[in-house]
């Protein structure tokens, strides 16, 4: 199955202000976030991409603008975008619906009784007037799996694609890939404009990178070497005994 590069949007004005943005309209990247987005295009330059999908929220779409400007063939109506230069949008990759928590300062929310449930027992957490973290996990994992099947059918098993989304979304997808109970998803951290790479196979997913903010050239598909290394063009689905494929 294809390799998914999950990009968290660049730093936003809500991140800087310590506000839980959720689906609040008009939340954009700050100056640091725009610089991160510009750098992302260069970091991904060595990696062949076949599809770019995004949360519909502004901060994700802005994060992808430099990448799509550099690779116009990945955007537009022929790739599922609503207009030229637009990525395919999927609401299932959108931020959690935080309901009554939306727009409130994180420092204030940390005093709410529900905060401890979110931190320690995420599978039981449901936001008032919003959705539960179980629902978030179900819709986001379902979206990723569906896109994987579509991309594999259209572009082959070694295709690499990008989905730009949000912190809790990415953490939920990583938890699923690792077989973690949702209660443990707060152990996962992904920084703004980081890249998390998951190689899906028929047997199991492989987490190749998590929250990476550095060089990404090694994520490009490689010629088959029959090492069983996941993430290259070799279809091996078993982990390497000894845990390394580096030179001896």
DSSP E strands: which ranges in the chain? 3-8, 51-54, 88-89, 160-165, 195-200, 205-212
Q: What's the pLDDT score for residue 214? A: 83
Instruction: Name the pTM for this structure.
Output: 0.88
Low-confidence ranges of the chain (pLDDT < 70): 222-248
Q: What's the pLDDT score for residue 230? A: 41
What 8-state DSSP symbol labels residue 6? E
Q: What would the pLDDT profile of 4-41 be if each residue is shown by its tens digit?
A: 999 999 999 999 999 999 999 999 999 999 999 999 99
Q: What's the pLDDT score for residue 215? A: 81
Q: Structure tokens of 103? A: 């727009």
Q: What's the pLDDT score for residue 235? A: 42
CB 45 within 8 A of CB 127: no
Q: What's the pLDDT score for residue 223? A: 63
Q: What's the pLDDT score for residue 140? A: 97
> With b meaning 16 or more CB within 10 Å and e meaning fewer, what string describes 22-47?
bbeeebbbbeebbebbbebbebbeeb
Q: What's the pLDDT score for residue 84? A: 83
Q: What's the pLDDT score for residue 111? A: 94
Q: What's the pLDDT score for residue 244? A: 45
What 8-state DSSP symbol labels residue 238? S
Q: What's the pLDDT score for residue 216? A: 81
- Compute and round to an integer the Cα radius of gyration of the chain: 18
Q: Which helix (H) or strand (E) element contains residue 112?
A: none
């Amino acid at each position: 199955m294809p390799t998914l590069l999950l990009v968290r949007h660049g730093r936003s004005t809500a991140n800087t202000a310590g506000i839980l943005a959720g689906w609040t309209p008009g939340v954009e990247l700050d100056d640091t976030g725009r610089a991160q987005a510009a750098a992302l295009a260069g970091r991904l330059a060595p990696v062949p991409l076949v599809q770019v999908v995004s949360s519909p929220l502004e901060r994700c779409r802005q994060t992808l603008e430099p990448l799509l400007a550099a690779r116009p063939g990945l955007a537009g109506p022929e790739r599922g975008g609503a207009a030229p230069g637009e990525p395919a949008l999927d609401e299932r990759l959108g931020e959690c619906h935080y309901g009554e928590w939306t727009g409130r300062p994180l420092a204030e929310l940390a005093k709410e009784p529900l905060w401890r449930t979110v931190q320690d027992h995420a599978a039981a957490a449901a936001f008032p007037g919003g959705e539960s973290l179980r629902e978030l996990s179900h819709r986001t994992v379902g979206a990723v799996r569906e896109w994987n099947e579509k991309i594999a059918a259209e572009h082959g098993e070694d295709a690499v694609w990008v989905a730009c989304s949000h912190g809790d979304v990415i953490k939920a997808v990583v938890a699923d890939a690792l077989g973690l109970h949702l209660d443990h998803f707060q152990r996962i951290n992904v920084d703004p404009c980081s890249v998390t790479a998951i190689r899906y196979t028929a047997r199991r997913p492989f987490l190749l990178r998590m929250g990476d903010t550095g060089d990404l050239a090694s994520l490009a598909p490689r010629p088959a070497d029959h090492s069983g290394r996941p993430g290259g063009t070799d279809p091996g689905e078993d982990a390497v005994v000894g845990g390394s494929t580096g030179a001896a």
